[in-house]
Amino acid sequence: MAKTRIAVFGVGHMGRFHAEKFATLAEAELVAVADTDANRAADVAALHGCAHAADYRRLLQGLDAACVAVPTEKHHEVVLACLDAGVHVLVEKPLARTLAEADDMLARARARGRVLQVGHLQRFNPAFQALAAEPARPLFIDIERLAPFKARSTDIDVILDLMVHDLDLALALARAPLEQVSASGFRVLTESIDIANARLEFADGCIASLSASRVSQAAVRKLRVFKHDGYVSANLQEQKLRHVRKGSAGIEQTEQVFARVDELQAQADAFVRAVRGGAAPQAGGEQGRQVLALALQVARLVDERLARHGA
């Protein structure tokens, strides 16, 4: 079977890493990159020996698949153009700015019979996969993601920028219908929400508390899941789990360390396999829409609370 011909549209901070990963896959060929910054596109293309353009539309003909890593405001336009050209799509999170845009993309992917996968990267982390596979029902999920301020991605708020990752993880871990959502947040350094907290209550009694900030002095990443027999602390950067349980001799702690996986490489590989008919995408468009709907609900609740308090 011929190699999957793929292009990366948008080779800024994340896009250049996507290009690097696709260029190494045995079953894929990185044939082109595009970016509105023509010099940046040329630089990345030179690294991988592929074509380049400032306008992605010049590259659609002859492609099998595309990775869309343009700013979120352009996702709808670029993804629809790809699907209309018969091109399978991996799009960075969040799927879109609005549910209407997301629904357009899903409908077009179905109509064209093309893969639409969303870049929820932690789904490919072996520590998270092991945590999600544990049978015991979660009682409480505590997730914290704090990051220093960076000028990029300020076209969206911290909920769509950072918390969207953890909303996806919480939904996957809870495995029960979501019943109630409450949220708070504040603008600090930008015109959008820079720090936010969300509380999710599920039908089986599980509660998830999520905090996200992009104005912190140091990066913090925590994920803990509390169950009837103890709790699990996940270090997703180090790809390991620490289990704390009550044993016959007191509190017992054990650690699981997993063989290191490059999540971005694993995501690229899974996308190419889905395109080639090997498997359904691990984070498909429907899942991306579900997470987007929740993220937009959290953002709306934050805005309503700020309006009530005159902030």
State the residue for tokens 């190419």: 272
At residue 12, the pLDDT reads 95
Could you tell me if 160 and 94 are in contact, meaning their C-beta atoms sit under 8 angstroms apart? yes
At residue 220, the pLDDT reads 85
At residue 70, the pLDDT reads 97
Q: Which whole-number Å values give the CA distances from 15 to 22, 40, 168, 209, 289, in the listed order?
A: 11, 11, 21, 31, 22
Please list the ranges in the chain whose pLDDT falls under 50. Answer: none
Residues 6+ apart with CB under 8 A from 46: none
At residue 217, the pLDDT reads 84
At residue 278, the pLDDT reads 67
Q: How far is the C-alpha of 281 from the C-alpha of 298, rounded, in Å? A: 26
- Percent of the chain at pLDDT > 90 equals 85
Domains of the chain, CATH where assigned: 4-120+264-280 (3.40.50.720), 126-260+295-308 (3.30.360.10)
At residue 153, the pLDDT reads 61
At residue 295, the pLDDT reads 97
At residue 155, the pLDDT reads 73
